Structure 1
Amino acid sequence: MPLTWTPTLDRALAVAARCHAGQTRKDDPTPYITHPVAVALIVSDFTDDEDVAVAALLHDVLEDVPPSVYSAADMIADFGDRVTELVRGVSEEKTAGEETPPWRERKEGYLARLAEDSRECLLISAADKIHNLRSMVSAHGRLGDDMWGVFNAGPQEKLWFYGAIADAVAERLGDCAATRELRRAVDDVVALAPVR
């Protein structure tokens, strides 16, 4: 079902745009706000729950924006406990401006939480990863194998992580649109990986 725009979604977009102002995607100068918008659009293919779409727009705010700019308390005040819990559920264990744990440790923590997360968190995570993977295919079209050098981890590590998410989503949600789209996106990137 297509995303129906509401005043709440409009407020969430304004917050996300302000919080991500000046940020760009890893692989090109595209403004970062395009990513949460894409995630919200993708997740709207899987659910018509407005809170899930709002959380999709805000999904990177708590891990990428310093609390002095926008905190969990701000999010609760603006959008309520449920949206904030959904955003927390799909956030890595890191705080903007503080020392970040190693890549593998962060990803293993994310996967451990995903095993316990709500169905709604799984849908947001799937939509997030689908957009990331589609962006990787697009970047590979521009950069070829140099695309892999943009990331904090090599091709095999990236593919391990995305494959593990696809497995977790499939195990928890079964055969559904989110599972199928995520698996297809993973397979598309696997086909681009350099031969070891």
Structure 2
Amino acid sequence: MNAIIDAVLAFATNAHEGQTRKYTPEPYISHPIRVMERCKLHTDRAAIHAAALLHDVLEDTAVDAAQLSKFLHGLMPESMARETMTYVVELTDVYIKKDYPQFNRKTRKQLELDRLANISPNAQTIKYADIIDNASEIAVHDPDFARVLLSEYRQVLKRLVEGDSALYRQAVKAASSLS
């Protein structure tokens, strides 16, 4: 299984090539790696680990769903590829500014929250790890925007309650760090 995760990491690293985190000069891929490592502390499911590494690929890179699906189906067993792809799609924001310029941030986030409320428990687990990693970074580097983002995260966590319970509690704590 390590060979599969290594190949997924290489794919995600390549997809995020040249991207850095918003507030630090570290390569963007460091975030998905931290999300995966946090998930690994709570589950041994390789599809969750793979999706954690890929959770921002469709949203933040030039890779589209067809390319990602082809890669996954060429790398792993059919059921694992479908499962991984499902989680990545569930975690990819749909109501983005580029596609919905008529909506303000609050409206887009509400629509996204309504959509997220229906994602699988395993995708929720990945979302918790994503929230934990982003919350800690934003609180340090942009306390003013952190108030907005952490409030949005608290709303998300009120609706996403079916993932790993220990990770959920950590995410709630992280999202409450400024309140």
Tell me which of 123, 126, 130 is aligned to 1:121: 123
1:73 Cα deviation after fit: 1.3
Provide closer, same or farther for how the CA distance between residues 105 and 184 of structure 1 changes in structure 2, counting only shifts above 3 A: same
Match of residue 182, structure 1, among 156, 163, 171: 171
- For the Cα contact (< 8 Å) 1:92–1:109, is it kept in 2? no
Equivalent position of 1:167 in the other structure: 158
2:91·2:127 contact (CA, 8 Å) conserved in 1?
yes
Conserved? CA contact 2:95–2:111, under 8 Å: no
Let me know the Cα RMSD of the aligned residues: 2.2
Aligned with residue 42 of structure 1, among 38, 46, 49: 38
CA distances 1:82-134 after superposition (whole Å, capped 9, x unpaired): 211110101101679x5564433332232112211101110011110110012
Please state whether the residue corresponding to 1:110 is helix, strand or coil.
helix
Equivalent position of 2:51 in the other structure:
55
Partner SS state of residue 189, structure 1:
coil
Q: Post-superposition shift, 1:38?
A: 0.4
TM-score between both structures, scaled by the size of structure 1: 0.77
- Equivalent residues in 2 for 1:56-95, closer than 5 Å: 56-66=52-62, 70-79=63-72, 80-93=81-94
Which residue matches 1:26?
Answer: 22
1:160 shift after superposition: 2.1
- Contact 1:90–1:110, Cα closer than 8 Å, also in 2: no
- Cα distance 1:138–1:187, how it changes in 2: closer, same or farther (>3 A)? same
Report the Cα distance in structure 2 between the residues aligned to 1:77 and 1:29, rounded to whole angstroms: 31
2:106 aligned to 77, 80, 104, which one? 104
Match of 2:7 among 4, 7, 11: 11
Deviations 1:132-179 (Å, cap 9, x if unpaired)? 01212443xxxxxxx246xxxx44432321111221233x34x82111
Distance (whole Å) between structure 1 residues aligned to residue 12 and residue 58 of structure 2: 11
- Match for 1:123: what amino acid? T
CA distance in 1, matches of 2:5, 2:153: 28
CA-CA distance at 1:77 after TM superposition: 1.7
C-alpha contact 2:36 2:50 (8 A) present in aligned 1: yes
Counterpart pick for 1:135 among 129, 134, 137: 137
What is the aligned length? 169
Query: What TM-score does the superposition give when structure 2 sets the normalisation length?
Result: 0.84
**Partners of 1:63 and 1:91 within 8 A in 2:** yes
Identity %: 30
Question: Residue in 2 aligned with 1:144?
Answer: none
Structure-2 separation of matches of 1:134 and 1:86: 23
Residues 95 and 106 from structure 1, CA distance in 2 versus in 1: closer, same or farther, beyond 3 angstroms? closer
